[in-house]
Structure 1
C-alpha cells in the first residue's frame, strides 16, 4: 500500500497552515504558559500531531505509529547514546575528584563567571560542535559550568545560546554537506555564503552572552576580553569557511579563540571579579599549587575526549568502523510506503552505526580514562548505572521529541508550513531563514533541516530571480538560531544542567533570544539578496553524474593504529607522572 503526502488538505493554504501550526504552537504554549515538564509537553504534542496527521491529512494509523517509532528509535540512538556517554564522562571526572583540580585551574585563569562562560560555553563548545556535534557540546559544557558552580539555569541557557555560532559547521561540516547534496550547489560556495553571515553574529555573540549573564554595564567592564574572544572567533570562522571549506571552521575558530583569550588574560584582568547574586566570593587558595602531572591527569578525560572525537570525525576511520560495525535495515511497513508530492517514495532506513557513532567515541574515552583518574572499573560501572538513573526522564523526552518530528515530517505537516513561506514572492529571502529555523526547531538538527528544505529554497529562489546560494545558505544560518529552542536541545541541556523537569524554565530563558537572532539573520539575508550582491560567490552547479569512490580501508586501519599508539603513549605518561608525584596538592613556600 502506498500513501501520498498531502500538503494542502483543505484546498485552502491559509486554513491548512492554521491547522498545521497547532502542534508547534502547542509546544510553545505548554512550555511557556503551562510550564509543563519536557516529556509531558513532548508526548502531548505527539498525540496532537498524530490526530491531525490521521484525521486531517489522511495518514493511515499504521504509518503514523511506525513513523513515531522510527523517530523514537533515532532518538534513542544515536542521540540519547551520545548524551548518556557525555554525562557519564563528566560524572567520572567529578566522582574521581579530578574536577576540583580543573576548577582550581579555571580559577587561576579567571574566577570571573563572565569570562569562564566565554572560555567554556562559547569557545570550547564551538570546538566540540565542530568535532562531535549532535548535542555533545551542550551536554559537556553545561555540565562543566554547573560543576564550576554556575547557576544551572544560566549554565544550560548560556550553552544553548552560545551553540548558535558553530552549528552550521558542526560535525566536520555535515550540515553544509547535506545542503549541497540536496540543492546541487557545491559545498564551498554554501560555506562561503554562510561564512559571510554568521561571523557577524559571532562578533556580537560573546557580548550578548555576557550581557545576559551580568547585564549591560557589567558586560562593558570586560569589553576588551569580549572583543578578543568574538573578533578572533569571527575572523577564523570567516577565513576557514571561505578558503578551507565547511569541515574545519568550528575546530579552528574554537581553539583559536581559546588561545587568544587565555593569552590576553595573562596580561589583562577585569577590575572586579563578577559572580552570581548570593554566590559566595571566590575561594581561590594561592597557597595551593598542582604539578604539571596532576594537571595533565585532571584534564585527561577532556584531552582523551578531544582526541577521540577528532579521530571519529576522520572519514577513513568512519569508513572502517562502518564496514565492520554497522547494521542497517528498512523499517518494515514504512520503507518506500510514503510518496511525496513529486511521486518519489521516501526511503526509511535505520542505520545502527554502533562503532562510528560519536557516543561510542566518548564511551571509549571514558574506558580509557577510568584508571588514569584513579578509579576502578567496578566504580566506573556504578557511576554508569547512576548516570542512567539520572537521565531516565531526558531519554523519554528525547525519544518523544524525535517521534513527534518524524510524524510531522512524514505526514506533510512540515511541508504545509514551508509552502506558505515559499509563496511570499519578493520577500522570500527575508523568510528563507525562517524555514531553516522551523526545520531545526522540529527536528533538533541543522543537518535534517537542510535535508528537508534545501531543494525548496533553491527552486523558490530561482523562480523569483535571486541567486539560490543565498537562500540555501540562509536555511543553514537560520537553522542555527532554532537550535537553542528545539525541544531536543532543551532536553539535552536540561539533562546535563541538572534541570530535569524544569525544561519550561529553560525554554522561556532562550526563546526570546532565538527570535531576536532570527530577525537579524532575516534582514541580513534580504540585504544579501538585493543590496549587497557583490558578496555572493561565483560558482558552477554540481555535475549530476556522481563518481563512485571505493573507500581505501587500509588508510582507516593506519589511522586507528596511530590513534591507539597515541592513547597508549598518553596513558603511560599520565600513569608515570602519577606514580612519581602524590596526588595531594603541594603547599607553595
Structure 2
C-alpha cells in the first residue's frame, strides 16, 4: 500500500508544492517557451512526473508506472474513442461530397455576411465542436467563410472567437467527462454547473461576432438575430446539460441556435450592397451557386440527425439500463493507493463503460451514416483507419497528458499543490477560471487542461471551504476562453486560410476578446460562490 504525503520535501508545504509543480512547469515551458510539439512536451512532462513521484514522494516505481498506464488507457477509452469515431463521421461526409452540399445549404440561408458568420462560425462551428473538437471547427469554418467571400484574416478571427461557448461540451462531452474522471465528481454534477456558466458566454459571443464582421453597423443592424441565436443556444445548452445529456449539449444548442436564426425575419433580409462590399473583400467560391437535389441535402444533414437520434434513444431509462449492464469494473493491477486522510484512491478501480460511452454511440451513428451516404464497408473501414492515422500525434499527446495527470493525482502531487493554492482563500474563486484559461492557452485543449488542473481545483476548494464542483467547472469554463489564443488553434486557423506565419497578427486581434471574456467568467464564478448568484447552482 502506498500512502500519499502532502509535505514530503523537508516537511514544508511550500517546498513540496514547488517540487510537485515541476511536471506542469516542464510541459508549459516546453510548449509555450520552447515551442516544442505537444506530444513531445507531454512525454517529457510525464517523465518529470514519474521522477518526482518516485524520488520526492517515495511512490514505488511499479505503482507509478501502473498509474501512468491507467491514465493512458483512459485517454484511449473513452476519450479518444469518442474523438476518432466523431471525426470518422465527418470524413465520410467529405469523401461523399455531402459536406459540400451542407456548405452550399448554409450559403443559401442568407446573403447577409453577418448572419452567415453566425450560421457558419457559431452554429455549425458548435456542431463540429460537438462531434470532433480538437481544432476541427476552426479549420473547417475558416475555409467555409473564405469560400463565402470573407477576407482570410477576418474569417480566421471570427472562427477563433466563435469557438468558445461550445468547447466545454465538445467532442461529445469529452472535456467534462475527463474532468469528472480525474476529480472523482459525478459527471451529472460537473456538467450541470458548467451548463450554468458557459451559456452566459453564448449570450455575448454572437454579438461580438457581428461586431467583428461589420463593426458598430453590424451590431446596430443585426443585434436582434444575434441575440436570438445566442439566447436559443444558451437555453438549449443549459437544458441539455442539466436534464438530458452532457454529450448532447452542444448538438442540441447548435441546432436551437440555427433554428432561431431561421425563425427571425431580420436574419433573412437581403444585405445592403454597401455591407456586402465592405465585408466580402475576398473572392466568393463559384461552387456555392450549384443547385443540389433535395434528396442530397437531406442526406447531408442525416449524419447529425442520426447522432442526435442515437444519443436520445440511449437516454431512455430502459435502454440506458441495458447499456449500463455491459459496463465492467476492475481492480487495477499493481495499484493500491490511499490518500493522506486514509481513504482509498479512486484510481484503484477502473471502470470500462463498453456500450454506454459516447464513442460507442457515435460509432453506431457512424455505421448508420455509412449506410445512408452509400459508403461501402471497405471504404468506411479505410476511412476509420485513416482517421486514426490523422490523429496519431493527438493520440500520443492525450495519452501522455492523461498519464501525467494520473501520476500526479495518485502520487499526491496534485493534492500538495491544491493545499498550497488554497491559501488564496476566497480569491480562489476568481483565480480558478484563470488557471483553466492558462492551461488551454498552452495546451490547446480543454480536455488536457481539465486533466492537468481538475484534481488540483477540487483539493484547493475543499481546503478553502468553496464548492469543489463549482471550481472544477470553473476550470473548464475558463478554459474555453483560452482556446482562441492557443498556438495550436492559431496555427490551424492560419494554415486553413493561407496565412502561414501570421499567427502573431491573429493573436493580437483575438487576445483582447479572450481577456475580456475571461474577466466576465471570473466575475460570474465569484458571484456564484457568493449569495449574489449562488442561487444559480444546483
Q: TM-score normalised by the shorter chain: which range applies?
A: 0.7 to 0.9
Matches within 5 A, 1:503-582: 516-529=516-529, 533-537=531-535
**Distance in 2 of aligned mates of 1:179 and 1:62:** 21
Other structure's SS at 1:161 match: coil
Contact 2:26 2:45 in 1 (8 A): yes
**Distance in 2 of aligned mates of 1:359 and 1:181:** 21
Match of 1:81 in 2: 81
TM-score by length of 1: 0.71
Contact 1:71 1:406 in 2 (8 A): yes
Matches within 5 A, 1:139-538: 141-142=137-138, 144-145=140-141, 148=144, 157-158=160-161, 160-164=163-167, 170=173, 182=185, 191=192, 197-208=197-208, 214=213, 220=219, 222-235=222-235, 253-264=253-264, 266-271=267-272, 272-273=275-276, 279-283=282-286, 285-286=288-289, 288-324=290-326, 326-334=327-335, 337-348=336-347, 349-433=349-433, 444=448, 453-454=457-458, 457=461, 460-461=464-465, 468=466, 472-483=469-480, 516-529=516-529, 533-537=531-535
Contact 1:5 1:410 in 2 (8 A): no
Other structure's SS at 1:280 match: coil
Q: 1:269 to 1:28 in 2, by over 3 A?
A: farther
**Distance in 1 of aligned mates of 2:317 and 2:139:** 29
Unpaired runs of 5+ residues, structure 2, are: 147-151
Q: How many residues align?
A: 514
State whether structure 2 residue 107 is matched by structure 1 residue 107: yes
**Distance in 2 of aligned mates of 1:419 and 1:484:** 26
What do you get for the CA RMSD once the two structures are aligned?
A: 4.7
Other structure's SS at 2:325 match: helix
**Distance in 1 of aligned mates of 2:411 and 2:276:** 53
Identify the structure with the greater helix proportion. Answer: 2
Q: CA deviation at 1:261?
A: 1.6
Q: CA deviation at 1:342?
A: 0.8
**Distance in 2 of aligned mates of 1:340 and 1:182:** 16
Contact 1:108 1:284 in 2 (8 A): no
- Give 1 or 2 for the bigger CA radius of gyration: 1
Q: 1:83 to 1:496 in 2, by over 3 A?
A: farther
**Distance in 1 of aligned mates of 2:197 and 2:110:** 31
Q: CA deviation at 1:477?
A: 3.1
Q: CA deviation at 1:215?
A: 8.2
Q: After superposition, what is the alpha-carbon deviation per residue over 1:369-405, rounded to whole angstroms, capped at 9, x for unaligned? A: 2232132222222222322222222211221121111
**Distance in 1 of aligned mates of 2:489 and 2:79:** 9
Unpaired runs of 5+ residues, structure 1, are: 462-467, 541-589
Other structure's SS at 1:59 match: coil
Q: After superposition, what is the alpha-carbon deviation per residue over 1:486-517, rounded to whole angstroms, capped at 9, x for unaligned? A: 8xx99899999989xx9xx79x9688866654
**Distance in 2 of aligned mates of 1:455 and 1:431:** 14
With 430-439 and 64-73 compared, the bigger mean Cα shift is at 430-439
**Distance in 1 of aligned mates of 2:305 and 2:244:** 26
Q: 1:195 to 1:162 in 2, by over 3 A?
A: closer
Q: CA deviation at 1:323?
A: 1.4
State whether structure 2 residue 22 is matched by structure 1 residue 22: yes
**Distance in 1 of aligned mates of 2:372 and 2:244:** 37
Match of 1:584 in 2: none
Q: 1:97 to 1:241 in 2, by over 3 A?
A: closer
